[in-house]
Amino acid sequence: MAKDTSASVNRKSDIISAAIEVFAETGYYRATTAQVAERASISQPYIFRFFQTKEVLLLTALEVSWARIIESFRQVVESASPRQLETDLITAYVQILEEHRNEVLLQMQAQTIQEPSIREAMQDGFREARQIVLDAFRQAGIAHPEERTMLFLARGMLCNIAAAIGMPELMET
């Protein structure tokens, strides 16, 4: 039984990874669950064993992408010195952007989707990321923590755009 559970967890993870790739490359509205199934090397009906709808699959993919950012930021906050905090957060985000580009592209696309559940997922992700950074800046004694948090998030958005359109010079400091 444990083996079946482990296989199911791995299959679900494979489906989410495939969905992130397909949605990032094709766009949510144009992507099909058949494309996701093909990318995951499974049958299309197997997707629905784990996800009721394509929207639920997208929400899960967004949850995975936000969890990666949140966990990365938490690790930085726990280990960075106050003097290195902002630099280490930037470095962590750039690393995510380099290693998980499709997740970031997926989030960028999701920002324009008007379905309430998707907007809520994006709001929740941004809200949590913002709060972690704001709390860390306050705790580190950084002057004007609200403004610095806004600038940090704005820089992250600029990094996203730079990656999406192939202009790395926008990320240079």
Write the single-letter amino acid at 109.
Q
Cα–Cα distances in Å, from 116 out to 55, 119, 128, 129, 133? 11, 5, 18, 20, 26
Q: Assess contact for 44 and 33: CB atoms under 8 A.
A: yes
Rounded-to-integer distance, Cα 142 and Cα 134, Å: 10
Q: Number of H helices and number of E strands within the chain?
A: 8, 0
Q: Is 2-166 in CATH node 1.10.420.10?
A: no
| Three-class DSSP category at 53 | coil
Q: Closest by alpha carbon to 61, among 98, 26, 88, 24?
A: 24
Q: Could you tell me the pTM of the whole model? A: 0.91
- The CA-based dihedral angle spanning residues 75, 158, 67, 70, taken in that order and rounded to the nearest 10 degrees: 30
Per-residue pLDDT of the chain (173 residues; tens, 9 = 90+): 455 567 677 899 999 999 999 999 999 999 999 999 999 999 999 999 999 999 999 999 999 999 999 999 999 999 999 999 999 999 999 999 999 999 999 999 999 999 999 999 999 999 999 999 999 999 999 999 999 999 999 999 999 999 999 998 888 76
